[in-house]
Amino acid sequence: MKISKAMELVEPQLTKERYEHSLRVAKTARYLAKLYDGPEEKAELAGVLHDYAKYRSLEKMAEEIKTFNLPADLLDFHSELWHAPIGAILVEEECGLKDEDIQYAIRYHTTGRANMSKLEKIIFLADYIEPGRNFPGIEEVREVAETNLEYACWLAVRNTINYLISKRAKVYPDTFHAYNDLSKHINGGNE
Ligand SMILES: [Fe+2]
Ligand SMILES: [Fe+2]
């Protein structure tokens, strides 16, 4: 699928702000792919598409978690997590994009998981550091993203877990799995 086609399909699904965020994620993802010898075109496409399901109604998404046979435990966690796995399926069902690498990158862009592919890491990180984002600790992640993809992802996951805990919110297990898995890549895995 061409980027222009993906943009055309995504734009009506999102608010103007979210659409612009998606374009910044695409640009950042392409930059990271080039930097880390990843698939640049897939990174850009996944960036454009990653929030495709962001504004689906909660009712519809709760239903789709069941009809698409997604993990039922998603329903016990914040609905903010739902758009990622649902979007991964809808880009195929509604947009005709069948590309496992891109679909996995969309699926895990919010929670992360253990054993993320390079493309999954790139989209996870691009969504976190795109230039429109602004929250405590982001400058450190942006800086590390220039030299160490795994460590930057680890920082982003750690910050996310810390944030959720400070809000007394639950943490989806895949996010802990991402944290533990990425810990292998820092300080010789002894952390
Ligand atoms: Fe998202
Ligand atoms: Fe996003």
Q: Which ligand is nearest to the CA of 126?
A: 2
Which of 75, 72, 73 is CA-nearest to residue 58? 75
**pLDDT category of residue 189 using cuts at 50, 70 and 90:** low
* Distance (Å) from CA 35 to ligand 1 centroid: 23
Which of 38, 16, 6 is CA-nearest to residue 126? 38
pTM: 0.96
Alpha-carbon torsion 172, 62, 22, 5, what sign? positive
Encoding tokens for residue 65? Answer: 């978690």
* Distance (Å) from CA 22 to ligand 2 centroid: 6
Q: Taking all residues of the chain, what is their mean pLDDT, rounded to a whole number? A: 96
Count of CB atoms situated within 10 Å of the CB of 173: 14
* Distance (Å) from CA 188 to ligand 2 centroid: 31
Surrounding residues of ion ligand 1, Cβ less than 5 A: 51
- Total count of residues recorded for the chain: 191
pLDDT at 188: 58
- How far, in Å, CA of 23 to CA of 19, rounded? 6
* Distance (Å) from CA 153 to ligand 1 centroid: 16
- How far, in Å, CA of 140 to CA of 120, rounded? 20
5-56 tens-digit pLDDT: 999 999 999 999 999 999 999 999 999 999 999 999 999 999 999 999 999 9
pLDDT of 190 strictly over 60: no
Q: Is 60 helix (H, G, I), strand (E, B) or coil?
A: helix
- How far, in Å, CA of 113 to CA of 74, rounded? 14
- How far, in Å, CA of 116 to CA of 52, rounded? 21
Q: Which ligand is nearest to the CA of 106?
A: 1
* Distance (Å) from CA 188 to ligand 1 centroid: 31
* Distance (Å) from CA 190 to ligand 1 centroid: 31
- How far, in Å, CA of 52 to CA of 63, rounded? 17
Q: In the chain, which ranges are E strands?
A: none
* Distance (Å) from CA 44 to ligand 2 centroid: 13
Q: Any idea what DSSP says for residue 168?
A: T
